[in-house]
């Protein structure tokens, strides 16, 4: 999509701090981190959110989840734990309408999700 922020990041038109990349997925540091480690994992194919996940094939979706694990591992989060979150829609405060997973860690997370 021409006007999608994350598509522009994937294309290299907007700079980012890359953490991981393969043929299906791109992961980069969030510019407004909510935890000591906050990485966004996005599919290279544009899909708006989890609500539109049927537009991805199973391999693309699996690649996103595997990338979340690889990012957590490379960031040293797997021993103590990490959180993976995907906001879906306006009420969930999804600010960029491109499917993305937040990989958060590096501190004790709160017990409540909301």
> Are the C-beta atoms of 99 and 5 separated by less than 8 Å?
no
Q: Let me know if 100 is a catalytic residue.
A: yes
Q: What SS3 class is residue 66?
A: helix
Query: How far is it, in rounded angstroms, from Cα 76 to Cα 70?
Result: 10
Q: Which of 38, 46, 98, 100 is catalytic?
A: 100
Q: What SS3 class is residue 58?
A: helix
Closest listed residue to residue 44, CA positions, set 26, 32, 57, 62: 26
The residues annotated as belonging to the active site are: 100
């Amino acid at each position: 999509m021409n006007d999608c922020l994350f598509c522009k990041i994937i294309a290299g038109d907007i700079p980012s701090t890359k953490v991981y990349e393969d043929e299906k997925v791109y992961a980069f540091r969030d510019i407004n981190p909510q935890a000591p480690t906050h990485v966004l994992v996005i599919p290279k194919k544009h899909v708006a959110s989890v609500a539109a996940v049927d537009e991805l094939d199973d391999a693309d979706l699996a690649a996103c989840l595997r990338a979340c694990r690889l990012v957590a591992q490379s960031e040293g989060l797997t021993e103590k734990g990490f959180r993976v979150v995907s906001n879906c829609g306006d009420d969930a405060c999804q600010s960029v309408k491109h499917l993305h997973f937040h990989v958060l860690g590096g501190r004790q997370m709160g017990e409540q999700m909301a």
